[in-house]
């Protein structure tokens, strides 16, 4: 009864107009997905089919996306053409590319589509050079497509690009393509450029290509005839890349320029010439060459060469260099080896170099043990100083805390 009375009073007190102003509650929407959602779903499916190599399924999905005419239509046309080309239907792919260029001329996909055109023309033996108005990225893509063509057909065009007024970027790419062809004509032209007889601005790149191709003999000839240190340095670097140890050894032995000799030594280290480096050290007389050979062991990883040097080297500074470098190189039982050297050699300078080597090696345990035994105050201070800058090493920190508590 009370509830009925309350409802009656509420109906009297609240005017009917208030009810009329209340917003209508919208009905639940169980309609089909929006066009954008449908487009996303189809595009995602098409991308999955591309990744799986299911070309026909990809063509169907991207075709549906293109028909929707939404935000992804231009990309869908590109991938549709891509898949059509993959199944060998180049005519349909060309039509799809043309449709993309016509409907969406400002699309970012147009450049990719033009590159795809170049690739398809190259595969069918047609002229592949883009028009002069094309941007450099497209020209580079066109040069890449030449790699799949007959070298005899590609060579004249590449030669024309290399000797023409193209940008350095295009010329460098043309040189790279030329280096992949393997034809005798290409080899001759690269050799001419590497010697500086043609296109001197490409000489450095040509020398690098010879190194990548492993043409050690030609690189050795170029080194012998090179007139400038810069060219010689580039040759030595390329010899290091291609493992030209014999040529590098000859350069290191015969080169009077200390910088070039150092470059040859570094090249030997890169080439893995451990035996050659040892031979050079046994014959070396000047300290700088010895230092370069010691530093080269960091690259070659030849800790044994350092272990051979340390006991016999008469120059204390060179000996210290070898000890410090041994710490950088590391290796099995290096910490124990260094501690044994420390205990056997009473020279303060040599001991300090051993401490530095242990520090670089990160051997806090050995440094702590040496600090505990050391009776020379200055040397002990130096050991503690090295331990204090070893970061968060627990053993080092524990030992330092013990010292503070005394």
Q: Are the C-beta atoms of residues 344 and 312 closer than 8 Å to each other?
A: no
Euclidean distance between the first and the last CA atom of the chain, given in angstroms as a whole number: 91
Cβ within 8 Å of residue 363, ≥6 positions away: 335, 338
Query: Mind listing the pLDDT tens digit for each residue in 207-219?
Result: 999 999 899 999 9
Phi and psi at residue 271, to the nearest 5°? -75, -5
Other Cβ atoms less than 10 A from the Cβ of 362: the count is 14
Q: Return d(Cα 215, Cα 40) in angstroms, integer.
A: 52
180-186 LR contacts (CB < 8 Å, sep 24+) = 180/147, 181/147, 181/151, 181/154, 181/155, 182/151, 183/151, 183/152, 183/155, 185/151, 185/155, 186/151, 186/155, 186/158
- Helix-helix angle 216-225:184-194, to 10 degrees: 30
What is the C-alpha to C-alpha distance for residues 343 and 365, in angstroms, rounded to an integer? 15
What is the number of other CB atoms lying within 10 angstroms of the CB of residue 183?
15
Exposure string over 20-52, b if 16+ CB within 10 A, otherwise e: eeeeeeeeeeeeeeeeeeebbebbebbbebbee
Residues with Cβ < 8 Å from 189, sequence gap 6 or more?
159, 162, 178, 198
Closest of 375, 343, 353, 347 to residue 306, by C-alpha: 353
Residues 6+ away with beta carbon under 8 Å from 48: none
Q: 303-312 and 334-344 are packed helices; what angle lies between their axes, rounded to 10 degrees?
A: 10
The predicted pLDDT at position 147 comes to 59
Residues ≥6 apart with Cβ < 8 Å to 222:
194, 195, 207, 210, 231, 235
Q: How far is 120 from 32, CA to CA, in rounded Å?
A: 40
Question: SS3 for 135?
Answer: coil
pTM of the model: 0.67
> 141 in helix, strand or coil?
helix
Classified as helix, coil or strand, 116 is helix
Give residue limits of the domains in the chain.
38-126
Tens-level pLDDT at each residue, the chain (406 residues): 434 333 333 333 344 443 344 444 344 343 345 778 899 999 999 999 999 999 999 999 999 999 999 999 999 999 999 999 999 998 999 999 999 999 999 898 888 888 788 778 766 665 555 555 455 666 666 666 665 556 666 788 788 888 887 788 888 888 888 887 777 888 889 999 999 988 888 999 999 999 998 999 999 999 999 989 999 999 999 999 999 999 999 999 999 999 999 999 999 999 999 999 999 999 999 999 999 999 999 999 999 999 999 999 999 999 999 999 999 998 888 999 999 999 999 999 999 999 999 999 999 999 999 999 999 999 999 999 999 998 788 999 998 888 888 6
The Cα 19–Cα 28 span in angstroms is 22
pLDDT at 21: 43
Report d(CA 111, CA 141) in Å as an integer. Answer: 10
Q: 3-state DSSP call for residue 376?
A: coil
Question: What's the length of the chain?
Answer: 406
Domain over 38-126 is classified CATH 1.25.40.10: yes
């Amino acid at each position: 009864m009370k509830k009925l009375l309350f409802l009656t009073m509420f109906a009297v007190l609240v005017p009917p107009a208030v009810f009329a102003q209340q917003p209508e509650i919208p009905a639940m929407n169980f309609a089909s997905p929006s066009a954008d959602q449908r487009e996303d779903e189809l595009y995602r499916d098409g991308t999955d089919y591309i990744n799986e190599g299911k070309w026909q399924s990809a063509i169907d999905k991207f075709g549906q996306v293109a028909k929707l005419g939404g935000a992804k239509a231009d990309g869908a046309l590109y991938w549709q053409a891509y898949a059509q080309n993959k199944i060998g239907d180049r005519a349909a792919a060309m039509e799809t590319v043309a449709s993309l260029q016509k409907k969406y001329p400002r699309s970012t996909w147009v450049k990719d589509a033009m590159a795809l055109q170049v690739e398809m023309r190259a595969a069918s033996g047609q002229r592949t050079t883009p028009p002069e108005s094309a941007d450099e990225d497209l020209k580079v893509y066109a040069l890449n497509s030449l790699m799949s063509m007959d070298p005899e057909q590609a060579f004249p065009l590449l030669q024309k690009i290399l000797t023409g007024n193209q940008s350095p970027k295009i010329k460098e790419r043309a040189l790279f393509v030329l280096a992949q062809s393997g034809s005798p004509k290409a080899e001759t032209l690269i050799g001419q450029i590497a010697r500086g007889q043609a296109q001197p601005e490409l000489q450095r790149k040509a020398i690098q290509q010879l190194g990548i191709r492993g043409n050690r003999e030609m690189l050795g000839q170029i080194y012998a005839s090179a007139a400038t240190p810069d060219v010689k340095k580039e040759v030595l670097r390329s010899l290091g890349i291609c493992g030209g140890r014999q040529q590098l050894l000859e350069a290191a032995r015969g080169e009077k320029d200390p910088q070039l000799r150092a470059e040859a030594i570094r090249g030997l280290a890169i080439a893995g010439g451990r035996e050659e480096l040892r031979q050079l050290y046994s014959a070396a007389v000047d300290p700088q060459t010895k230092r370069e050979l010691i530093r080269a062991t960091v690259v070659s990883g030849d800790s044994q060469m350092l272990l051979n040097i340390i006991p016999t080297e008469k120059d204390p500074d060179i000996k210290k260099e070898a000890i410090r470098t041994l710490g950088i190189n590391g290796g099995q039982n290096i910490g124990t080896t260094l501690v044994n050297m420390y205990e056997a050699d009473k020279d303060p300078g040599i001991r300090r170099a051993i401490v530095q080597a242990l520090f670089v090696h990160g051997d806090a345990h050995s440094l702590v043990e040496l600090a505990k035994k050391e009776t020379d105050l200055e040397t002990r201070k130096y050991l503690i100083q090295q331990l204090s800058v070893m970061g968060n090493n627990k053993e080092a920190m524990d030992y330092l805390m013990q010292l503070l508590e005394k």
